[in-house]
Chains A and B, each alone.
Chain A
Amino acid sequence: MHYLFEPGLLSSGPVRTALLVGAVVAITSGIIGVYTVIRGQSFAGHSLADVATTGGAGAFLVGINQFWGFLAAGVAAAGLMEAIGVQRRRGRDVATGVVLGAALGVAALFLYLGTLRTSTTGASFTVLFGSIFVISPDTVPALIASGVIAILTVSLLARVLLLTSLSPDLARGRGVNVRLVGAVYLIALAISVSLAAVAIGAVLSTALLIGPSATALRVTKSPVRAMAASAVTGLAATWLGIVLAYDSYYWPPYGHGWPVSFFVVALVLIGYLLTYVRRPRRLAPRSPHEGAECSPA
């Protein structure tokens, strides 16, 4: 066992909290991320995370727990993006981009003011890149509750969400309020992104949201199986990342660990790239129609 991880891993309190929070985050992101990829909202997901940075910086400024800052800013941004029409394909990227740019500017200001006030400089690093080993055990129940709420919301809406993602017109024809479903989904996305921001940092939360889901969707086309595969992949990457980060205290430079976020991102990407290596099905077109689509005459 000790070849895999250094002694003392499981008896350390912060590590146990990290493993627990990591599991909640990975499963939530894995499930929600499948819809993000299907709906083509990767940019929206990433922007929510970056806007959450502003909230994290604000929380740092006023001295409350960062998770509440991430959550407040994420949900507010989800509402704003819905209001300016993130559902419309045309122009939504530009509108998202403008909101994002302004939010990042405000984040810069908050971090600057916060640094002036408390004369600590590590805050921007923690806000942006996360620090799963310093999560206070007090916030764990709140984190788990948020994850459960996000997963429940998406599970209840699963069928409607899929329908509105794949064919908005058909959904509208059946009397589904496409806009409302989109808005509720964006809020669930914001919650999931805030969770991931706490664990691996705001700017890297996209890795857990998009990576495992994109990997799963390359392997299977069934949404349910994709969600399961995505949650498992995310969980494996997160836990292995935590173990490796813990081990890395004994790697050069000695006495200084490598960040968990780096390992998680690297593992998620390795998983994604592996699906490129082994894809026998794609080699031969399955139907003449698909063949025609792949190679225009």
Chain B
Amino acid sequence: MFSSLMMNTWITASIVAVIAGVTGFFAVLRGSTFAAHAIPNGAFAGAAGASLLGINVIWGLAVFAVGGALGIGALSSETRGRKARHDVVTALALVLMLGLGALFVSVSSQYAEETYALLFGEVFGVSQGEVLPIAGLGIAAAAAIGLAFRPLMLTSALPEVADARGVSTRRTELYFLVVMALATSMTVPVVGALLMFSLMIGPAAAARSVTARPGVAMALSVVIALATVWLSIALSYRTNWPLGFFVGVGGAVFYLVAQVRRAA
């Protein structure tokens, strides 16, 4: 389980978990759950396009994730403050990207295996060459969140105060979506598009229902994400079942435990 080949997996998965924990905290706090779902899923289409063109999938992921984030941010800006419309735009951006994904996968036709890996994750296929770009993007995303920590907190918790202080809610939202997109583009090849989402939401939601203090909640969110990923890799390695299964169910179990503990 800890052979040199598996070391790449452990390192990459740990970076992914840290980033998912940090971004997920803000996604849950800001109520951007749907965007957190839409961006990784849409990014999958980019990966399919990149493999069709024969370039590194990470570029396809980055282009589609950032493009999706900008599209959601730009189209919903007209209807700011109206959650229902925001959701509609998110849904449409998502299906546009997925529709393109369906086309790319179908045209290239020999990628059934790869489609499955991109959607549900293939953490055991991480090569040495993939670790560095993922680490780089990870550090960039973490730095971006760290730099904007105060405006992000302010616009999430007290939008009116943010307005009064001249912090643009809209621009902060767009900034956050782009950072989430960057974080996503590096995590999709590892945990898969469908499951990146559970890794962002499950641990962060669990952490938030345990503590109300932002710093502690964020740290806890990272710890839970790491625990989920490590446990999942170990179990997936032992059973040969897909990693996505353990990540998805693991995140939900942590959330349930936190809810039960709070209710008790």
Q: By the criterion CB–CB under 8 Å, are A42 and B91 in contact? A: yes
Tell me whether B34 and A266 are in contact (CB under 8 A). no
Q: Are A124 and B119 CB-contacts (below 8 A) given A94-B33, A97-B201? A: yes
Chain B contacts for A41, CB-based, 8 A: 87
Task: Enumerate chain A residues within 8 angstroms of B102, measured Cβ to Cβ.
Answer: 129, 201, 204, 259, 261-262, 265
| Bound CA span A253–B109, Å | 11
In-complex Cβ contact of A262 among B88, B100, B198 (8 A):
B100
Kindly specify which of B4-12, B136-144, B211-219, B243-251 makes contact with the partner chain.
Answer: B243-251
Residue of A105, A109, A124, A207 touching B99 (CB-CB under 8 A): A207
Q: Write the nearest CB–CB distance from A76 to chain B, whole angstroms.
A: 15
Do B251 and A98 touch across chains, with their CB atoms under 8 A apart? yes
A262 lies within 8 A of B197 (CB): no
Per-position binary interface string of chain B over residues 223-260, scored 1 when its CB falls under 8 Å from any chain A CB and 0 otherwise? 00000000000000000011011111101100100000
Inter-chain contacts of A102 with B (CB < 8 A): 198, 248-249, 251-252
Closest CB pairs A-B (n = 9): A105-B248, A101-B198, A265-B99, A40-B84, A102-B252, A42-B87, A108-B244, A207-B95, A121-B112
Which B residues are within 8 Å of any A CB, using their own CB? 28, 31, 33-34, 36-37, 41, 83-84, 87-88, 90-92, 94-96, 98-100, 102-103, 105-107, 109, 112-113, 115-116, 119-121, 192, 194-195, 197-198, 201-202, 205, 241-242, 244-249, 251-252, 255
A-B residue pairs in contact (CB < 8 Å), sample of 19: A41-B87, A43-B91, A93-B31, A98-B201, A99-B252, A102-B249, A108-B195, A108-B245, A109-B245, A124-B119, A125-B106, A129-B106, A204-B99, A204-B102, A256-B107, A259-B103, A261-B102, A262-B106, A269-B99
Residue ranges of A at the interface with B (Cβ–Cβ < 8 Å): 37-43, 45-46, 50, 89, 93-94, 96-109, 111-112, 115, 121-122, 124-125, 128-129, 201, 203-204, 206-207, 210-211, 214, 253, 256-259, 261-262, 264-266, 268-269, 272
